[in-house]
Amino acid sequence: MGLKPKIHANELGLTGGVQVGVANNAISVDHLEYTSEVEIEVLKNSDTLPTLLPGCAFFLGIPFAPARQMMDAGLPVVLASDYNPGSCPSGSMPFVVSLACAKMKMLPEEAVNAATLNGARAMELEQDYGTIAVGKIANVFITRPMMSLAGLPYAFGSKVVEAVVLGGKRY
Amino acid sequence: MSNLLIRNIHTLVQAETNRRSLVKGADMASLPVVHNAYLLIENERIAAFGHMDDCPERAEEVIDASGRLVLPSWCDSHTHIVFAATREEEFVDRIRGLSYEEIAERGGGILNSARKLQVVSEDELFEGAWERLQEVIGLGTGAIEVKSGYGLTLESELKMLRVVRRLKEKSPIPVKASFLGAHAVPTEYKNRREAYIDLVINEMLPRVAAEGLADYCDVFCDKGFFSPEETERILKAGWKWA
């Protein structure tokens, strides 16, 4: 056991970050705005997770990562916020999910999987978090009234989360 | 035992009977849901869920979620919420036409954040990060990863990671820490980047590991930052520390 790699890769170009992450058994390679078929092929033969940060692509005006091609190739996709003062000064996961749907052509179901269970896996927390399953920690949220799941990414920028329950207690 | 019942849920989303640990490819389009559902929580864990026909009659606390969806909290695996100051001025520079890389080359970007962080106390950093954590919890985040990387000196990297440790101790949601000493090459190492990489490997990593301050080792592998070869040296060094 050591400090497992979890790295920033391919944000600014096809620079070999994905390859070096996979070669060193990274738990995830994050960003991937610049991803070609070569990187997708490398990821297919690994357990390293591609983590996409569409809030950064939005705020910097750089290309969005090719989530659709990754999923079509059979890869898992993780979504995260990249909340930071320079390239993404927002930590809003509802906005990330909206961007994933509107700009990366992820279905609402795909975006929710990427931002819950797959996100938990990218932090090695999937045993206790990331889905609603008997025995897991009860961290859940309640939305405002809506007709369907698509209502969540659809209402981008709106306050869609009405109440939060953490460990079974209202927050 | 304390319990909480959420009833009349329009759709309970990502509710699984057969546990998955990861979803890939075409399976990502399937999301297990229960319509007209209840969710029962006992102590801090999920005790049961299902259709309203099978809903328990009473509980200590009841929430009516009519017309609403219930989802598992977001798991945000990549953030940098420990920082000293915003960089609004760079945002305006970009609006005027400068690229992120051009701003970085002028000493802006990560190096700007590092200069600001070096003169801010651990307590002040914690307060700022704590506020951001509260903010994202209110937006539905229920697990989070937080990186260092605005320190870029031994002392400041440790300061950031101690702030992350305080977040872990106080936070109602799980927090994972990543050591990102190799986020950028500091200005004073501009012409001797090897020396900075040596500092990361020989001084920062051992201290971070000895104090148990990180779960993961991160590197900004990209043009203008760290090459794949440099990244590999740092990652291999990270693997050596328990």
Q: What's the CA gap between A54 and B127, in Å, rounded?
A: 27
Residue entry with tokens 């993780």: A78
Nearest Cβ partner for A2 among B26, B86, B239: B239
Q: Which two tokens stand for residue B28?
A: 């990502």
Q: Would you say residue A143 lies in a domain?
A: no
In this prediction, the residues of chain A whose per-residue pLDDT falls under 70 are 1
DSSP A74: T
Instruction: State residue B11's pLDDT score.
Output: 98
Helix (DSSP H) and strand (DSSP E) numbers for chain A: 8, 7
CB contact under 8 A, B100 and A116: no
Q: Would you say residue A61 lies in a domain?
A: yes
Mutate to test the interface with A, among B23, B35, B45, B113 (most CBs of A within 10 A): B23
Q: What's the CA gap between B119 and B127, in Å, rounded?
A: 15
Instruction: State residue B241's pLDDT score.
Output: 83
CB contact under 8 A, A125 and B68: no
Residues of A in Cβ contact (< 8 Å) with B65: 142
Instruction: State residue A2's pLDDT score.
Output: 86
Write the DSSP assignment of chain B as a string of letters.
Answer: --EEEEEEEEEEESB-SS--S---GGGGG---EEEEEEEEEETTEEEEEEEGGG--S--SEEEE-TT-EEEEPEEE-------S---HHHHHHHHTT--HHHHHHTT-THHHHHHHHHTS-HHHHHHHHHHHHHHHHHTTEEEEEEE--S--SHHHHHHHHHHHHHHHHH-SS-EEEEEEEETS--GGGTT-HHHHHHHIIIIIHHHHHHTT--SEEEEEESTTSB-HHHHHHHHHHHHT--
Q: Would you say residue A84 lies in a domain?
A: yes
Write the DSSP assignment of A80-122 as a string of letters.
Answer: ----BTTTB----HHHHHHHHHHHH---HHHHHHHHTHHHHHT
| Domains in chain B, CATH or no CATH each | 3-72 (2.30.40.10), 88-239 (3.20.20.140)
Instruction: State residue B105's pLDDT score.
Output: 81
10-residue averages of pLDDT along chain B (242 residues): 92 97 98 98 97 95 98 98 96 92 86 95 98 98 98 98 98 98 95 97 97 97 96 96 72
**Which B residues in the span 162-191 are in contact with A, Cβ-Cβ below 8 Å?**
172-174, 176, 178-179
- Contact (Cβ atoms closer than 8 angstroms) between residue B141 and residue B171: no
| Longest CA span, chain B | 71
Nearest Cβ partner for A9 among B2, B221, B224: B221
**Which B residues in the span 195-214 are in contact with A, Cβ-Cβ below 8 Å?**
205, 208-209, 214
Domain that holds residue A37: 6-131
Residues of A in Cβ contact (< 8 Å) with B37: none
Question: What does the angle CA B156 – CA B135 – CA B143 come to, to the nearest 5 degrees?
Answer: 75
Instruction: State residue A143's pLDDT score.
Output: 98
Number of domains, chain A: 1
DSSP A143: E
Q: Would you say residue A165 lies in a domain?
A: no
Tell me whether 0.90 is exceeded by the ipTM: yes
Q: What is the β-pairing status of strands A169-170 and A78-79?
A: unpaired
Q: Would you say residue A68 lies in a domain?
A: yes
Q: Would you say residue A141 lies in a domain?
A: no
Residues of A in Cβ contact (< 8 Å) with B205: 3
Q: Would you say residue A151 lies in a domain?
A: no
Q: Would you say residue A29 lies in a domain?
A: yes
Mutate to test the interface with A, among B82, B139, B173 (most CBs of A within 10 A): B139
Nearest Cβ partner for B216 among A4, A131, A167: A4
Q: Which two tokens stand for residue A133?
A: 């399953």
Shortest Cα–Cα distance, A39 to chain B (Å)? 14
Q: What's the CA gap between B79 and B97, in Å, rounded?
A: 26
Instruction: State residue A1's pLDDT score.
Output: 63
Residue A102 belongs to a domain with what CATH number? 3.20.20.140
Nearest Cβ partner for B145 among A93, A123, A127: A123
Chain A residue with CA closest to B6: the answer is A142
